[in-house]
Structures are given as C-alpha cells and as structure tokens.
Structure 1
C-alpha cells in the first residue's frame, strides 16, 4: 500500500509542477483557461467527506462502521478543454470529515474538459493525519480520482456550481486477523 501512497503523492506533485509552470494555480488566472469574450465566469466548488474505514471492511468499498477523519487532505484537479491541468486545490477535512475546495470565480463552463466541470475535475486522497490509519483505499476511486456529481446546488446559469465527490476513505495500516489459522 506504500506504493500507492507514493504514487498518489507523485501524481499530486506532478500536477502541482504542471500548474506552477503557468504561474498562479487559480482557474481565473490560467492563461489557457479559454475564458474570455462575454461568457459568464463560473464559480466552482467541490465538497465531500473523508472517513476512517473500519478493519471489519478492509479491502472492500463498504463504509459501515466508518468514522470521520478530521484533518485528512485531498486534492481536487481540474483539466481544461485540451486535457491540461488548469487548476487544483488541496482541501482539508474538518472535524466531521467534510471538505470544501473553492476554486473561486473562473472561466465559463465551456473552458473545462468536455465543457463540464463535473467531467473535468476529480478528487484524490492525499494525506491522513493519523499514522495508524493512513493507507489509501480505492473507495469511490480515491486513488485514481473520484468523479464528481452535481446535486442541484447552483447551476452555470446562476454563476456557481457545487459538486460532490466521495465519500472517500483511508484505512488502518494494521488490523487484527479475521480468521483463525
């Protein structure tokens, strides 16, 4: 599992390096964002939950008995219409496990990959503050990138959209054996 953690960190660092090649990380100042003309800019926010998976459901997608993981970090990456990283944010979960990544005012929806921030952005697990529970899981594709869904909070016509991801989870590094030998 350490290999997955190293891979996730490497991918996040590469995304950061790619974004830093273009200056500021914000969507609105990216030179390739495609926003311009008289198109209405869009405020994009991404929310979700990060949990501590119980040992009883290790190696599954089940979150029965899971608890919130305060201080867990995730990274939200968005791609432009040419599939380049155009913005990213790191968000930290509060004491209930809730995170919110706010991209602020950015380009119009058409500047995002496939013209839709829900298809252009994804969330990855980044770091757990609990050393006893810091193994990444694949729950809702937390390693590869959790897809976003629109739950009716705002719309491009209103100038803002709040998308949801997850729930995501870290799991304990060590669990007691579940069967006798």
Structure 2
C-alpha cells in the first residue's frame, strides 16, 4: 500500500521523521564538534645532515659538491623555561651523514618559551675525518643552528611526537690545493 502513496507524501513523512525542514535544513542544532585533544607533553626528535664542504667552496656557506660525513658528532641542546640547559644529546651521523637525537617525554611548558623549536639548537662537535675536521659556521653550526618545523608530528600514548630539523651543517678541509698556478 505504501508504494501507492504520492511522492510528496513520502517526502513529507521523511522530513518529519528526520527533523529537517522542507528546505533541507535541520530544525535541531547540530552538536558542535569537540575541540581536538591538546597534548601538553611532547617527545622531541631532532634530525639533520653533516657534510664535508668541498675545497671549491671553502670559507663560504655553499654546500655544492659537499660529501656526507659519516661518524660526525653534533650536540643538540635544549633550554628550559628559565633559559638554562635542560637536556642535551650527542648523536653520531650514520653512513649517509644523517643524525637523529631523541629526547624523553617532557611538558611543552618546560621548554624555553613553551616551544621546543625555540628552545633547542644544534652545534658541530667533532669530525672523524682528520682531513676534514675544521668547523664551519654554515647554517650556524658553531653558534647553534636553529630548528625548523618539518610537519612531522603524530600523537599517541598521551603525548605528541614531533620531529624538527636543523639545516645541513658542515666541516671543511683543513688544507686545500691552491686554486691558481704560480
């Protein structure tokens, strides 16, 4: 018998059953979405690359022709809310010159200005290659390279995992062949 009802009657019945008006709008307010859970704790990871600068670009910030420096050591230092050293790690670069420093879970508020990216920096420490062990300040490797957001973050276990990166750092050769003929 319901199959014989005119289409308008069926639509009115559906509208009445769902609480929508004839124009498709809901008569009852929709629930507001709950705000996303804000993690107050963070597990910080800092990554980067260490290179040996080519003699062609020695004493500049250019890394064209630079080669990865396996075994290079850097230090990653983070400051607390009072701008004191909070934690530090000394990662060693792998065979591709890549390093990763991992920190324990901490409150975001414990970091300087409540932001690990502002609280932490990376410095060159040591090179295993005696032919390429002079420090450079490329990307502030001597002064302290700032961290940048990489968009790598995920939540789990009651804290947020965040990966920051330092721009590429570099040692330079202590001696290079002369560029001109004498």
TM-score interval, smaller chain: 0.7 to 0.9
- Give the CA deviation at 1:129: 0.3
1:172 corresponds to: 173
Give every structure 1 segment of 4 or more consecutive aligned residues whose post-TM-superposition deviation is greater than 3 Å: 155-158
- Aligned-residue CA RMSD in angstroms? 1.6
Q: Distance in 1 between matches of 2:94 and 2:150?
A: 21
Instruction: Judge conservation of contact 2:41–2:159 (CA < 8 Å) in 1.
Output: no
- Give the CA deviation at 1:155: 5.8
Q: Distance in 1 between matches of 2:54 and 2:86?
A: 36
Q: TM-score under structure 1 normalisation?
A: 0.75
Instruction: Judge conservation of contact 2:108–2:114 (CA < 8 Å) in 1.
Output: yes
- Structure 1 unaligned runs (5+)? 1-38
- The alignment of Structure 1 onto Structure 2 pairs a total of residues equal to 142
- Give the CA deviation at 1:158: 5.8
Q: Distance in 2 between matches of 1:71 and 1:46?
A: 17
Larger Rg: 2
Task: Point out the more displaced range, 155-164 or 112-121.
Answer: 155-164
**Superposition pairs of residues 91-130 of structure 1, within 5 angstroms:** 91-105=91-105, 107-130=106-129
- Identify the structure with the greater helix proportion: 1
* Per-residue Cα deviation, 1:63-106 (whole angstroms, up to 9, x for no partner): 0001100000000000001000000000000000000000021x
Q: Secondary structure at the match of 1:140?
A: helix
Instruction: Judge conservation of contact 1:45–1:104 (CA < 8 Å) in 2.
Output: no
1:149 corresponds to: 148
